[in-house]
Structures are given as C-alpha cells and as structure tokens.
C-alpha cells in the first residue's frame, strides 16, 4: 500500500476506536484465515461473579467460603476477586493466612489454621495428590452451565467446589458471525476447563475450541496454526496472552486489558468490543482495494 492510503486507513481506524500500530497489520488483516480469541476478558466481560458455594466435607458454607476467600485475597486473578467480593457481600470475616503461593494458570495455595488450603483447577489438586473424585459431579455440573468450577482441598482432603460465572460482552456473538461470514475461521483459546469453554463457545457460535492451555503454551498454539500455512490473528487482554499476540500475524489487544498485552499487539481495540476486529478486517480490505 502507498504511505498515503496507509495514513488514511490508520486515521479512519482511530475514528472507529481502533489504534493501528503498524502499516503491516493494516496490510495483512484482510488476508487472515483464522482468528484466535481468548475467552476471559475478550469474549466475556472478564468480571466474574461468585454463584455457587458447595462444601462437601461437612463444613458449613460460611466458614468454607471465608477460608477460601482468605487464600484468594492475596491473588490478583479475576476469579479471586469474584470470591473475595462474594465473601464480603455475605458479611464474612476472613481468617489470616500464611505462606501464600500462586501457580499461574492453575490456582493458589496458603496455610490457614495450620492446614494447607488449595484452590484451583483439577490439575492443581491432582498434582498435589488430592483425590478429586468426590468433587467431580459438582465440577461437571457447573462447567456444563458455562461456569468456572474451582476445586478446594483443605489439609490434602477434598473440601468442596465453588462456581464463578462470567457474562458475554454485548456483540461477541455478532462479531463471531461477521468474521465467519467473511470466511475467517474463529477459534477460542483459554486456560479454563474444556466443558466450561465448550458451553461459552456454543453461546457465541464458535465451533473450534482449544481449552486447558497453559499460559506458556498459548504462543505455540498460534505457531501450530501458522505451520498449517494459515495467516493467523489473535485477540486477547491478559499478561498470559502477550506472547501469543506478538507471535500472531496480526495481534489485537482489548483496550481495557493489561499494558503488556497492548504493548505486544499491532492493534488496540479501544472500547474492548469484539466488533473492532471486524472493523479492522474491513478497513484493511478497503485500504488494499483503494490502491489496486
């Protein structure tokens, strides 16, 4: 494209709330074969709320939630915020904790009243030798509704499950439909569990889902698609998404997302709405048509 048409395209993008960082991104966006969308904070609002408190070990709901919230208070993850907010809305007093530790993409751990408490996904509990069998029915029931189940172990024993639900952003389903109409395959990628991811994907009309991806493997998933000869776009918001955004042929960050994601991307969707990526594709097509 000529410098003039690029300037015009970039200017129009800004008017639509899309900051385009490189001429190359504007030239490439109309050629995308596939776009990978992160789930939490990209397709969904990323502000999950606590919906279910299900202790199994004969503990009452109040002390169970207070214990879990005490551990999550030290975490900055949106799931942790949902639990701490849920506990404070119920007026619970949180016990003090020691030896807090977090395992990225899996969960958290701390000591409460002399017992090690684990809160996280199935992988976290299994890696610590906890028998998760008594928790699986509740886990699968929550996940089937598109909620994120969090498993809890206290002193190495299964103690209960919490459910957290996120809501779709307005326009996510419409954006997926518009991309599909333009011949672009839409893929969801998330660290969340398979069943939850599948339920959310069905709600927005996405057929291909890559779930339970560890943060350090997100970029490799982009590379795998590129190795199939595809031109791949990625949209994400988190620190976890930054390497994948940099790896993609066109990386787009949600404007309300983390600075690291924004710095690693070619395009910023300022309002955070997914319709921005459709606009970017159309703008690229128009820019390239003008100069042919």
Does 161 sit near ligand ADP (CB under 6 A)? no
119 vs 274 by CB, closer to ligand ADP = 119
Residue of 38, 192, 237, 241 marked active site:
38
Does 190 sit near ligand ADP (CB under 6 A)? yes
Cα–Cα dist 183/197, whole Å = 23
Looking at 28-36, 176-184, 188-196, 284-292, which segment touches ligand ADP (CB under 6 A)? 188-196
Does 79 sit near ligand ADP (CB under 6 A)? yes
Cα–Cα dist 229/238, whole Å = 27
Within 103-122, the residues that bind ligand ADP by CB under 6 A are 105-108, 119-121
Which of 83, 116, 84, 112 is CA-nearest to residue 97? 112
Binding site partner of 69, from Mg ion, ligand ADP, none, Cβ cut-off 5-8 A by kind: none
Q: Identify whether 140 is a catalytic site residue.
A: no
Within 29-58, the residues that bind ligand ADP by CB under 6 A are 39-40
Least CB distance from residue 27 to ligand ADP, whole Å? 30
Q: Give the binding site for ligand ADP (CB under 6 A).
A: 39-40, 72, 75, 77, 79-80, 105-108, 119-121, 148, 150, 190-192, 215, 238, 240
Catalytic positions, written as ranges: 38
């Amino acid at each position: 494209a000529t410098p003039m048409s690029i300037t015009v395209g970039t200017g129009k993008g800004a008017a639509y709330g899309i900051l385009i960082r490189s001429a190359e991104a504007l030239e490439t966006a109309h050629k995308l074969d596939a776009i990978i969308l992160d789930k939490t904070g990209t397709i969904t609002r990323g502000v999950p709320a606590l919906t279910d408190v299900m202790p199994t070990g004969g503990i009452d709901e109040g002390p169970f939630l207070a214990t879990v919230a005490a551990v999550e208070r030290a975490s900055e993850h949106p799931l942790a915020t949902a639990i701490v907010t849920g506990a404070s809305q119920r007026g619970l007093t949180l016990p003090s904790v020691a030896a807090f530790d977090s395992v990225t993409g899996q969960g958290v751990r701390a000591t409460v009243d002399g017992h090690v408490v684990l809160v996280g996904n199935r992988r976290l509990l299994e890696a610590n030798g906890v028998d998760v069998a008594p928790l699986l029915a509740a886990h699968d029931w929550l996940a089937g509704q598109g909620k994120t189940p969090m498993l809890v172990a206290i002193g190495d024993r299964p103690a209960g499950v919490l459910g957290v639900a996120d809501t779709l952003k307005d326009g996510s389903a419409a954006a997926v439909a518009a991309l599909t109409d333009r011949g672009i395959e839409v893929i969801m990628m998330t660290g969340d569990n398979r069943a939850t991811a599948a339920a959310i994907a069905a709600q927005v009309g996405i057929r291909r889902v890559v779930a339970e991806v560890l943060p350090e493997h997100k970029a490799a998933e982009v590379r795998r698609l590129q190795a199939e000869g595809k031109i791949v776009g990625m949209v994400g918001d988190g620190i976890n998404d930054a390497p994948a955004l940099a790896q993609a042929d066109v990386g787009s960050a949600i404007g309300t997302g983390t600075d690291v994601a924004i710095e690693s991307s070619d395009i910023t969707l300022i309002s955070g709405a997914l319709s921005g990526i459709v606009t970017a594709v159309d703008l690229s097509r128009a820019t390239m048509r003008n100069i042919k």
